């Protein structure tokens, strides 16, 4: 009786330990980059991987702008990072990617107040149903369209401060993405609509980096898409209640913590010699081929044109609007 129960408990514990530590191939802590004189923006910088990324950049001496929706959380995180790193150059600026008006306001405020920009880290991400004030699916707008517009509005500044980099936090979930260009920005039909929409937005992220690199050849602005690892952050805060215990226990077993999840982003932001890999996809701090749809140059160009149209960067005739 008792012996078997103890043995069973021991085996379960052993299995658990094996799973937890065997499956989490955590990258080794990185050598700290020397980032004095560098200005970085981290979207979604108030929590999760974004905050962990901002913390490391601040440790390296960078000036860091946390671009996030909640002023309360954003200010608190900026204060915590300043205290923890002794770097006073960490500030919060309000950005709501679910509002293209907010994206434009953030960009113009940033360009007015901050003379330099060397690193744009498009990190914010959500997985949730709902529609934005602009009429797009919340997930697709936050994960792709809002970041697309932000990147375009800041590109001139990145160019003038080159060498500079854009890092786009994508996900291995891009493997299940299907871009329906005729209905871009609108949630796909079916019971798994929110999940599909998330995967679609992540495919858009990888394709965005690819096409951006093509357009930035010879500018010394490079860009990278990254899979951060399945990280235990608040991505599931919108999951149905009955599913939460399962997701959270799985997350605890398999997911990296936020500091580990920031490693590949930091690698692509700061590692020397990556320029020749502009437009490519990284996971575990290493180059990886993404899924075939994410290497489709015609799809990348079509996504670019559609995105420009949807965020109002070109008029309906295809001429850039002022």
In terms of Cβ atoms closer than 10 Å to its own Cβ (0-12, 13-18, 19+), residue 166 is buried
In whole angstroms, give the CA distance from residue 187 to residue 197: 6
* In contact, 95 and 69? CB cutoff 8 Å: yes
State residue 248's pLDDT score. 63
Q: Which of the residues in the chain have pLDDT under 50?
A: 24, 26-29, 232-234, 255, 322
Say how far apart CA 312 and CA 322 lie, in whole Å.
10
Catalytic positions = 198
Please, what are the domains in the chain? Answer: 33-311 (3.40.50.720)
User: How far apart (Å, rounded) are the C-alpha atoms in residues 63 and 71?
Assistant: 19
Q: Which residues pair with 226 in a beta bridge?
A: 169, 282
* Alpha carbons 275 and 268: distance in angstroms, whole number: 10
- Report pLDDT for 220: 97
For residues 160 and 205, the answer to whether their CB atoms sit within 8 Å is no
Strands 164-169 and 39-43, how do they pair? unpaired
Asked if 277 and 287 count as a contact pair (C-beta separation under 8 A), the reply is yes
The reported pLDDT for the residue numbered 168 is 98
Rounded-to-integer distance, Cα 48 and Cα 251, Å: 14
Q: What is the pLDDT of residue 255?
A: 46
Is the peptide bond prior to 163 cis by the omega test (within 30 degrees of 0)? yes
CA 211 – CA 305 distance, rounded (Å): 10
Residue 5: C-alpha distances to residues 17, 18, 264, 311 (Å)? 18, 20, 42, 61
pLDDT, one tens digit per residue, over 67-99 is 999 999 999 999 999 999 999 999 999 999 999
Backbone angles phi and psi of 168, in degrees to 5: -110, 115
Quote the CA–CA distance of 41 and 46 in Å, as a whole number: 12
Q: Select from 167, 174, 173, 172 the least CA-distant residue to 267.
A: 167
The C-alpha atoms of residue 52 and residue 44 are separated, in whole angstroms, by 11
- CB 235, CB 125: distance < 8 Å: yes
- pLDDT, residue 145, reads 98
């Amino acid at each position: 009786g008792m012996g078997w129960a103890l043995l069973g408990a021991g085996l379960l514990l052993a299995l658990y330990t094996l799973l937890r530590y065997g499956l989490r191939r955590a990258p080794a802590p990185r050598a700290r980059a020397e980032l004095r004189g560098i200005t970085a923006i981290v979207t979604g910088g108030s929590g999760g991987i974004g905050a962990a990324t901002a913390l490391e950049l601040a440790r390296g001496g960078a000036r860091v702008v946390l671009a996030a929706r909640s002023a309360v959380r954003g200010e608190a995180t900026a204060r915590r990072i300043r205290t923890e790193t002794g770097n006073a150059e960490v500030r919060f600026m309000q950005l709501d990617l679910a509002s293209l008006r907010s994206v434009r306001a953030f960009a113009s405020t940033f360009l007015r107040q901050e003379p330099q920009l060397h690193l744009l880290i498009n990190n914010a991400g959500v997985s949730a149903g709902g529609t934005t004030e602009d009429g797009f699916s919340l997930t697709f707008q936050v994960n792709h369209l809002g970041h697309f517009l932000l990147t375009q509005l800041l590109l001139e500044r990145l160019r003038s401060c080159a060498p500079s980099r854009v890092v786009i936090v994508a996900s291995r979930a891009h493997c299940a993405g299907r871009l329906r260009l005729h209905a871009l920005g609108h949630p796909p039909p079916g019971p798994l609509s929110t999940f599909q929409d998330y995967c679609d937005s992540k495919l858009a992220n990888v394709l965005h980096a690819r096409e951006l690199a093509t357009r930035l050849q010879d500018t010394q602005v490079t860009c990278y898409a990254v899979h951060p690892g399945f990280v235990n952050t608040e991505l599931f805060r919108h999951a149905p209640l009955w599913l939460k215990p399962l997701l959270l226990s799985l997350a605890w077993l398999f997911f990296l913590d936020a500091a580990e999840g920031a490693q590949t982003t930091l690698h692509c932001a700061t590692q020397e010699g990556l320029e020749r890999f502009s437009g490519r996809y990284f996971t575990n701090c290493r180059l990886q081929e993404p899924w075939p749809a994410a290497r489709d140059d015609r799809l990348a160009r079509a996504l670019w044109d559609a995105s420009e149209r949807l965020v109002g960067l070109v008029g309906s005739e295809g001429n850039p609007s002022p």
